[in-house]
Structure 1
Amino acid sequence: MLIASMLCFTLTVIAGIWLGLCVLRSKRPLKALLPVHVGFALLGAVFMIVALANGDSRLMLNVALAVAVAAFGLLMGWARRRGYVIAPLYMCHILLAVMFYLSLVSFTLFPNF
């Protein structure tokens, strides 16, 4: 389950980088890119919760980070719909997502970590 979660979050990261680059260039991203980013994140979270339910208690940090990343993502979307681009929200979302992804990759690739 962790490998499936890591693969889903890898695709989430790729879509997120693409979204971020579009924002930096002040271009509108593809309409399907945001649903892909969110969809793979949700699917990865489901796989991670299944792994947690199967007894992998190391993932509690990842669950907390995932909730924080999702909260900042929702705040970003809410602000963006109102016409605001708040850089600290983007930075918090990105930094927490990097910590989450590195932690998940470490737990997946190094089981005794």
Structure 2
Amino acid sequence: MLYASTGCFTLTAIMGVWLSIFAARHKRPFSFLTPIHVGSAIVGSVFLIIAISNGDSRLMLNVALAVAITAFGVLMAFFRRRGAMIAPLYMCHILLAVMFYFSMVCFTIFPHFGLN
């Protein structure tokens, strides 16, 4: 399940980079980018929860990061719909997502990462 979750979050990261390029240019992204970004994050989160329920307790930090990333993403969407782009929200979302992704990749590539 960890490989499936990492794969989904890789797609999420790719779509996120593409979305951030559009945001930096102050242009509207393609209509399919945001649903793919959000959908792959949701599917990856489901796989992450399944991995945790199978006994991989090392991933609890990732769950906390995922909740924070989601909260910033919802706030970004809320303000974006009203025409505002608040840079600190974007930066918090991006920085937390980078930490989350690197942690996921480390747990996936190195199965004994974080174990004594």
Provide TM-score, normalisation by structure 1: 0.99
CA deviation after TM superposition for structure 1 residue 26, in Å: 1.6
Q: Which runs of 4+ in 1 moved over 6 A?
A: none
Q: Deviations over 1:27-69 (max 9, x none)?
A: 2111011000000000000000000000000000000000000
Q: What corresponds to 1:16 in structure 2?
A: 16
CA deviation after TM superposition for structure 1 residue 74, in Å: 0.2
Aligned length: 113
What residue identity is the alignment partner of 2:81? R
Q: What corresponds to 1:78 in structure 2?
A: 78
Counterparts of 2:77 and 2:8, CA distance in 1: 21
Counterparts of 1:88 and 1:30, CA distance in 2: 23
What residue identity is the alignment partner of 2:89? L
Identity of aligned residues (%): 66
Provide TM-score, normalisation by structure 2: 0.96
1:67 pairs with 2:67 = yes
Listed as ranges, the gaps of 5+ residues in structure 1 are none
Counterparts of 2:76 and 2:54, CA distance in 1: 33
Q: What corresponds to 1:5 in structure 2?
A: 5
Counterparts of 2:81 and 2:29, CA distance in 1: 14
Counterparts of 1:76 and 1:31, CA distance in 2: 17
